[in-house]
Structure 1
Amino acid sequence: MEIKEMEALLFCVYCKEEVDHSITYVNDKLKNVECLECQHKMEINLNVNREFYKEIYKRISSKPERMTKEYREDLSHFLYSLPVRVVSKPYRILKDINQSRKIIRGFKKES
């Protein structure tokens, strides 16, 4: 799960002019938009737990297809890198889970 923040020049209905806004996305879904001039914030109800589960499901269900594509493209590289990937996978999963838990905790504190 990842959070992306960006700035954009948008029309603010409170300021009545185009000003910079901060836009926050969670997994490419809009979470909030905040005017940087008047600090008016528009929140979008987003079920972060559901987004997390959808991401996990997508990653697990697409793994066989991704591995098949990878070994068809370059079998020698696939076989060479497989032992390292098998050993490092638990650490990579743990890193992803910890990052997602921090994001979920952050959104629970906001609510």
Structure 2
Amino acid sequence: MSHEEAELHCEVCGQLTDHELHYAGRLLDSVRCTRCGTHVELSARALIPAYALDLEQRLLSKPRRMLRRIARDPGGYLRQLPRAVLRQPRKFLSEFRGLLRR
């Protein structure tokens, strides 16, 4: 799972504050207000089907994204490929486990 920060209006404390946005793949998983600590998360029941569709789109677009990267930097792409191939199964497993932990 990855996370970013954004300044949002918190419905609980009523302030415009930094919020941590947590993602499972490209899907927003949860939001936490850094001021009051309010934590809102989507249910696994809603996220798992959405994650499956998102994963399908990521897999279908992979060949096109790979070709763009090869065209931009063939040598760099070939150097990074072995590590990227090894990292992908762990990345997907980590994302899916994060959804199931809910």
Verify same fold: TM over 0.5: yes
Contact 2:32–2:40 (Cα < 8 Å) also in 1: yes
Superposition TM-score, scaled by structure 2 size: 0.64
Contact 2:24–2:95 (Cα < 8 Å) also in 1: no
RMSD, aligned CA: 3.2
Shift of 1:7: 1.9
Structure 1 CA distance, aligned partners of 2:4 and 2:83? Answer: 30
How many residue pairs match? The answer is 95
Contact 1:11–1:19 (Cα < 8 Å) also in 2: yes
Residues 29 and 106 (structure 1), Cα distance of their counterparts in 2 relative to 1, 3 Å cut: closer
Residues 27 and 99 (structure 1), Cα distance of their counterparts in 2 relative to 1, 3 Å cut: closer
Shift of 1:49: 3.0
* Alignment match of 2:56 (pick from 39, 53, 57): 53
For structure 2, the 5+ residue unaligned runs are none
Residues 8 and 94 (structure 1), Cα distance of their counterparts in 2 relative to 1, 3 Å cut: same
Structure 2 CA distance, aligned partners of 1:94 and 1:50? Answer: 23
Contact 1:24–1:33 (Cα < 8 Å) also in 2: yes
Q: Residue in 1 aligned with 2:36?
A: 38
Superposition TM-score, scaled by structure 1 size: 0.60
Give the share of equivalent positions with the same residue, in percent: 19
Structure 2 CA distance, aligned partners of 1:40 and 1:89? Answer: 40
Q: Please say which of residues 43-52 and 93-102 is displaced more in the overlay.
A: 43-52
